[in-house]
Structure 1
Amino acid sequence: MADRHQEHGWIRLGTEIVHEGPHLTVHRDRVVQPHGVEGTYDHVEIADGARIVMVDGRRRVAFVEDACYPLGTRLLHVPGGGIGKGEDPLDAARRECEEETGWCPRDLRHLTAFHPLPSRTPAVVHLYLATGLFRGAVRRDPTEAGMTLRWVPFEAAVDAVRSGEISEAASVIGVLLAERALTP
């Protein structure tokens, strides 16, 4: 069964779906590892994501805060979400800006793409810097009902990242890359 894993020394002997839900699928593969040992490898299939560092004309960053079930707390992070099948990451970023914050970007600049958990999922997160913001309409889905919008002065956002107050991966990477992009 030839696949992308073989060229890196892995051989997949078979796969089973352990769980399939609306947002993720858990696979358990029977594999031969690069050093020749046979075993299993669990991995998760999730949609790629688009996350956005939105900076307004007053040099404030838009953060959303919502309940993060796995952490058991509310979490402050940059807006974003999953990219639909066949959807362009740039279009997803525009959609997510408006849905979660009620603001639309005139300008979107791709900052980077990264793998959030490469040992567990091949998903990629695309990070954007959004400027030239204008009013749109908030259209959160039911799972985002308790989400709130908070504008944070840019330097305070950078300080919150550096102190660990803001710890969500896309927010940390995005704010630090936006700092570099916006520094003359």
Structure 2
Amino acid sequence: MTEHHHEHGWTRLGTEIAHEGPHLTVHRDRVVQPHGAEGTYEHVEMADGARIVMVDGRRRVAFVEDAFYPLGARLLHVPGGAIGKGEDPLDAARRECEEETGWCPRELRHLTAFHPLPSRTAAVVHLYLAMDLFRGTVRRDPTEAGMTLRWLPFEEAVDAVRSGEISEAASVIGVLLAERALTP
């Protein structure tokens, strides 16, 4: 690969794929750092995500609890998942709501898009607020077999974020932005 200059001060001299799997690709680039030293930089290519703060008519927030292998623990978090190749983020959000919770939103409002780990991946997570929910069908994939649905009153959800009980990034950002969006 030829030398590749970036306006942010880094120069990529070459790249190799260190690992390619079904969910992510690890790249190892030879780079010139902004201060001039040569080195290597590893980064991960993965799908963008869609995550949803679902609020029902009783002002309860839908959370799913699932086991996260790297943490060796179960975490409460807002529903969501990877956006498929060529899939619209809004469609992915709608699909993930139903698949993981069995509820579908009539209203989806974009809250923000954020970079969950910018030092390691360019992947973006799109956050939505979902309201006016109606019944659908749960369709969890095999890795989500142990997933459970839990509804928390909105103020409890905010308190759980503030206390650190809910610590997953999209859930923290989503609940706090939804609080602002839903405050008259």
TM-score band, normalised by the shorter chain?
Answer: over 0.9
Provide structure 1 residue ranges, at least 5 long, that are not aligned to the other structure.
none
Aligned to 2:158: 158
Q: Deviations over 1:16-39 (max 9, x none)?
A: 111111101111000001111000
Q: Which residue of 1 aligns with 2:68?
A: 68
Corresponding pairs, count: 183
Give the corresponding residue for 1:84: 84
- Look up the match of 1:148: 148
Following the alignment from structure 2 to structure 1, what is the Cα–Cα distance between the partners of residues 96 and 107?
14
Taking the aligned partners of 2:143 and 2:90, their CA distance within structure 1 comes to 23
Q: Whole-Å Cα distance in 1 between the matches of residues 103 and 154 of structure 2? A: 17
* CA distance in structure 1 between the aligned counterparts of 2:177 and 2:79, rounded to whole angstroms: 16
Deviation at 1:9, TM superposition (A): 1.2
Report the secondary structure of 1:173's partner residue: helix
Hey, what's the Cα distance between the residues in 2 that align with 1:6 and 1:76? 39
Kindly report the root-mean-square deviation, in angstroms, between the aligned alpha carbons of the 2 structures. Answer: 0.9
Q: Does the residue aligned with 2:7 lie in a helix, a strand or coil? A: helix
Give the letter for the 1:28 counterpart: R
Q: 1:134 to 1:24 in 2, by over 3 A?
A: same
Residue by residue over 1:86-143, the C-alpha shift from the partner in whole angstroms, topping out at 9 and shown as x without a partner, is 1110000000000000000000000000000000000000000000000000000111
Q: Distance in 1 between matches of 2:174 and 2:3?
A: 36
Can you give the 5+ residue segments of structure 2 that lack an aligned partner in the other structure?
none
Is it true that 1:113 corresponds to 2:113 in the alignment? yes
Ranges of 4+ aligned residues in structure 1 off by more than 6 Å: none
Matched, 1:130 2:115: no
Q: One-letter code of the match for 2:103?
A: W
**Percent identity between the two aligned chains:** 90
